[in-house]
Structure 1
Amino acid sequence: MTSATRTPRRPKIVMMEADHVRLSRLAAAAASRMPEVSDYLSVELERAKIVRRGQVPAKLVTMGSTLTFRDEQRGRTERVTLVFPEDANIEEKRISVLTPIGAALIGLTEGQSITWPNRTGEIHCLQVLSVEDTVAA
């Protein structure tokens, strides 16, 4: 089975209401500059369960979360912080939600995996190993 014929796994995701509103605007604004990532993020936003700030599940990847994930295809583990594009800095491991990996990670909880296509269409599987900072208050 080739990557083009496989259907990527899409786990249930949860998103804070405030993140959802801001990310919806961001995806719309990025549609002309980054259509693939904007479209992918928009699909993730459409399928997310929206919760208020006090209802955030433990260990949820939200904007500003620091997390460790494993890229199963590359056998690589990374610790990153998920940020808005203006705060991204690859040297500091601050990845933008407007990257394929950032858009794939938003809304997952510790232990969940997601299969997603990178910019070249290659299928990757990411597993969230730990979430250190979650805005739950």
Structure 2
Amino acid sequence: MTAKNRAPARPAITVTAADHAMLSRIAAGAVNTMPELAEELTRELDRARILPEGRVSAEHARIGSLIRYRDESTGRETSVTLVWPQDADIEKGRISVMTPVGVALLGMAAGRSIDWTTRSGEVRRLTVAAVGEPVQDVAAA
């Protein structure tokens, strides 16, 4: 494989121990209903740096984080809050971690880019512009 056709390296991601445990259970539960997404989430969790219990990183997107990202194909910037599936509300900008873009954003730090596949199968590149502190009512839900 040459450098030209090699997929770009996936950026390092960091998740809390509590989020990792919960997301692992969610991925296992989604194997039959959303197999591709469950597999992608599991792959991301397998490569994640896991922070010890009680530690968090304000630099990395986690459940409840306000994230501003740019779609590199359109240049459009979007702000969303990453939430658990039951708290998703696209009209309020709350995006489920169990969506393709939610999985892509998980654990990312500002300045990092990642390729993700939309529900329609299109590969897009997004760059995280900023990660804000978690919204308390969302992170604790």
For the criterion TM > 0.5, the same-fold answer is yes
Number of the residue aligned with 2:30: 30
Q: 1:91-102 counterparts in 2 under 5 A?
A: 91-102=91-102
Number of the residue aligned with 2:73: 73
How far the C-alpha of 1:53 sits from its partner, in A, is 5.0
Question: How has the CA–CA distance of structure 1 residues 116 and 9 changed in structure 2, closer, same or farther, with 3 Å as cutoff?
Answer: farther
Q: CA RMSD in A?
A: 1.7
Number of the residue aligned with 1:84: 84
Q: Over residues 68-101 of structure 1, what are the superposed CA-to-partner deviations in whole Å (9 max), with x where a residue is unaligned?
A: 0001113211010000100000100100000000
Amino acid aligned to 1:67: I
2:60 is paired with a residue whose SS is coil
Whether the aligned pair in 2 keeps the contact of 1:97 and 1:103 (CA below 8 Å) is yes
Task: Count how many residue pairs are aligned between Structure 1 and Structure 2.
Answer: 131
Amino acid aligned to 2:13: I
Structure 1 gap segments, 5+ residues each: none
Amino acid aligned to 2:95: I
Number of the residue aligned with 1:60: 60
Amino acid aligned to 1:66: L
1:103 is paired with a residue whose SS is helix
Q: Over residues 6-33 of structure 1, what are the superposed CA-to-partner deviations in whole Å (9 max), with x where a residue is unaligned?
A: 5253101111000000000001111111
Whether the aligned pair in 2 keeps the contact of 1:31 and 1:38 (CA below 8 Å) is yes
TM-score in terms of structure 2 length? 0.85
Higher relative contact order (CA 8 A, sep 6+): 1
Q: Over residues 22-73 of structure 1, what are the superposed CA-to-partner deviations in whole Å (9 max), with x where a residue is unaligned?
A: 0000011111111111111110000001002554333210111011000111
Q: Over residues 83-122 of structure 1, what are the superposed CA-to-partner deviations in whole Å (9 max), with x where a residue is unaligned?
A: 0100000100100000000000001111111112223332
Distance 1:90 1:57 in 2: 25
Distance 2:92 2:112 in 1: 24
Same amino acid, percent of matched pairs: 47
Distance 1:105 1:117 in 2: 12
Amino acid aligned to 2:125: C
Instruction: Report the more deviating stretch, 111-120 or 53-62.
Output: 53-62
Whether the aligned pair in 1 keeps the contact of 2:67 and 2:80 (CA below 8 Å) is yes
1:21 is paired with a residue whose SS is helix
TM-score in terms of structure 1 length? 0.88
